Amino acid sequence: MNHRTLRFVLAAVGVLAVALTLWFTTGRQPAPASEFVLIDGSRQRMADLRGQVTLVNFWATSCAPCVAEMPDLANTYNRFKSQGFELMAVAMAYDPPAYVVNFAQSRQLPFKVAIDNTGEIAKAWGDVQLTPTTYVVDKQGTIVKTYVGAPDFDELHGLIERLLAQQTV
């Protein structure tokens, strides 16, 4: 085996090792112990959502893909809410609160909408910068999937169904 081939093989093995590490570790950490301030002024803690499958979606009114996915998120929420599913839409710190409230009310969003006016929630969830970013949290409070950009909703629905079917430990 010549040096060029050996370097290629070693590089491929290194890439594979990194990919496997990410595959086994990505999305398997506990959800941050966040407290959300909802647009109605009430508060919701992640700890209160244990026992439910929860989707946490970071978005902004100025984000075209975020706005475009809202009807799909509403449909997802309505489809699974009676089965132990919760959805928390977290508006980014740079989004003016009045815009968020107007958006949620004018579109009659059926799920909980929070405002992260300090940026602390986005920071706790991996320093979210890109929107939409969506986390799927299982009944035990573990992040099992992260989507950056709009999710494939058929895939997401399948994942939610599998997680809802699991017993709470």
CATH number at residue 116: 3.40.30.10
Judge residue 164's burial from the number of C-beta atoms within 10 Å of its C-beta, 0-12 exposed, 13-18 middle, 19 or more buried.
Answer: middle
Same domain for 36 and 20: no
Q: What is the pLDDT of residue 168?
A: 73
Helix, strand, coil in percent for the chain, rounding step 5: 45, 20, 35
Say how many domains are in the chain.
2
Q: What is the pLDDT of residue 169?
A: 64
Same domain for 6 and 64: no
Same domain for 77 and 3: no
Same domain for 126 and 80: yes
Beta carbons within 10 angstroms of residue 143's beta carbon: 20
CA atoms in the 13 A half-sphere facing the CB of 2: 2
Closest by CA to 97, choosing from 121, 113, 108, is 113
Same domain for 45 and 24: no
In this structure, the dihedral spanned by the alpha carbons of residues 4, 9, 13 and 19, taken in order and rounded to 10 degrees, is 80
* pLDDT tens digit sequence for 67-100: 999 999 999 999 999 999 999 999 999 999 999 9
* Sign of the Cα pseudo-torsion (154, 66, 51, 168, in order): positive
* pLDDT tens digit sequence for 94-152: 999 999 999 999 999 999 999 999 999 999 999 999 999 999 999 999 999 999 999 99
Same domain for 155 and 73: yes
Q: Which domain holds residue 21?
A: 1-28
Same domain for 66 and 3: no
